[in-house]
Chain A
Amino acid sequence: EDQVTQSPEALRLQEGESSSLNCSYTVSGLRGLFWYRQDPGKGPEFLFTLYSAGEEKEKERLKATLTKKESFLHITAPKPEDSATYLCAVQSSGGSQGNLIFGKGTKLSVKP
């Protein structure tokens, strides 16, 4: 069964304190791994897509990496505006066409 596990469930950082969020997955063939950001009361906002092990993507203070079993979202020198829930999702070649399987998310709080 395709599965996505995110850790930690919640993370509190001081402004400027770098850290990483983890997304572990088991799928019957990975089509793609996606990172989203979700603010309270809003829909998920797309951040990155990774397709193969070794691939990396960057956007401002965020960097996503991918191995054959997990992905990391590295946050460098975070700011309070980076506070949000970060969702990881995978698209499996064995699943429904185009369907994303989501983890439960990591709630990030960045204090000034």
Chain B
Amino acid sequence: NAGVTQTPKFQVLKTGQSMTLQCAQDMNHNSMYWYRQDPGMGLRLIYYSASEGTTDKGEVPNGYNVSRLNKREFSLRLESAAPSQTSVYFCASSGHRRSEAFFGQGTRLTVV
């Protein structure tokens, strides 16, 4: 049971570099989310996609873009990485509006 799979697990970027974080789920869920987790801040929503073809901003969208490629895949792109984007990024998915979300194992990103 794969659930939610994120790649890569670890990444180090230089300031100004770009990269895309990949996320795929095999639970046939409609909604997918990207969160970031920082010490003392809790999990904060970056972007979400309520269904295939739609995306919306969350609490902290600046510096990020997303693509809902199909029902399974939801990617997060950093166009020009900054040290403030050093964080642990989690992708999650849920079946419907009131259901629990299932999380991937996270991507630990360091921007130097």
Chain B residues lying within 8 Å of A89, measured Cβ to Cβ, are 43
A99 to B44, CA, bound (A): 10
**Tally of B interface residues using CB under 8 Å:** 27
When C-beta atoms are compared, the residue in chain B nearest to A100 turns out to be: B101
Q: By DSSP majority rule, is chain B's interface helix, strand, loop, or mixed? A: strand
Find out whether the CB atom of A98 lies under 8 angstroms from the CB atom of B42: no
With A96-B56, A97-B97 in contact, is A43–B40 under 8 Å at CB?
no
A-B pairs with beta carbons under 8 A, tally: 65
Say yes or no for A59: interface residue by CB 8 A criterion.
no
Return the chain A residue nearest B39 by Cβ. A104
* B98 pairs with A104, CB closer than 8 A: no
A42 lies within 8 A of B100 (CB): no
Name the CB-closest residue of A to B96: A98
**Complex interface residues of chain A between 63 and 108 (CB less than 8 A to chain B):** 87, 89, 91, 96-100, 102-105
Question: For the complex, is B75 an interface residue (Cβ under 8 Å from A)?
Answer: no
Whether A34 is near chain B, meaning CB under 8 Å from some CB there, is: yes
Q: Are A43 and B50 in contact (CB under 8 A)?
A: no
CA distance A48 to B104 in the complex (A): 18
Interface centre among B4, B43, B50, B104 (most CB of A within 10 A): B43
Q: What would 5 A/B residue contacts be, using CB atoms closer than 8 Å?
A: A42-B105, A42-B106, A44-B43, A45-B103, A99-B48
